[in-house]
Amino acid sequence: MADASAEIAAFVARHAGTAEAKAVERAWASIPTIRTDAAYTAALRDLLPAYMSDFRRWPDMLATLQRRLQATLLVGDGQVFDVRDRLATVQVPALVVTGTDDFILGPRHAALLADLLPQAQMRIFEQSGHFAHIEEACAFAEAVLRFTGRPGRALSGI
């Protein structure tokens, strides 16, 4: 969480004075006190700009995501969820993807995951945040097709 908080602070600094920066900062600060699905949904909608490398490149997509997003608040038992010691037992190929600007599970965390999974490949998308499948759709699709070994037609005009 500390890494994510630092990334949120960096986002707010990069976009200082914008409505999006103010909304992201307010939403991130509200997370620990959220108790309802409605409040969680509202916070995640406000956080969406931070999930993108540059939300200004995708105004229509951002607006659509904010309108359609619905979230369910899952409250854990207070225990840290850490299964790193069990990842070596995963015996299937895994494609670990991240964007350079992914604030929540960025390249450092992706590399850790890829190192611990015995059959992992990692792909970093240079112009993406958490939504590489949107921000670099063609490159993302090509990476998945290469990873799965399935031939695919050329993707253009997406």
- Round to whole Å and give the CA distance between 7 and 4: 5
Residue 157 belongs to a domain: no
Cα four-point dihedral sign 111, 56, 141, 70: positive
63 plus 89 within the same structural domain: no
How does residue 156 score in pLDDT terms, banded at 50, 70 and 90?
A: very low
101 plus 63 within the same structural domain: no
Residue 76 belongs to a domain: no
DSSP state, 78? S
Convert 98-128 to b/e letters by CB count within 10 Å (16 or more is b): bbebbbbbbbeebeebbebbeebebbbbeeb
Range of the domain at 18: 2-68
- Round to whole Å and give the CA distance between 50 and 8: 7
Cβ atoms of 134 and 101 within 8 Å: the answer is no
**pLDDT of 131 over the 90 cut:** yes
33 plus 59 within the same structural domain: yes
**pLDDT of 152 over the 80 cut:** no
Residue 79 belongs to a domain: no
Model confidence over 72-122: pLDDT tens digits? 998 877 788 899 999 999 999 999 999 999 999 999 999 999 999 999 999
93 plus 123 within the same structural domain: yes
Residue 114 belongs to a domain: yes
**The amino acid at 105:** L
Cβ atoms of 108 and 120 within 8 Å: the answer is no
- Round to whole Å and give the CA distance between 27 and 42: 8
- Round to whole Å and give the CA distance between 21 and 153: 39
The pTM for the full model equals 0.85
Instruction: Count up the domains in the chain and report the number.
Output: 2
Last residue of a domain, one of 68, 95, 112: 68
DSSP state, 117? S
Residue 153 belongs to a domain: no
Dig out the tokens for 133 from the structure: 């499948």
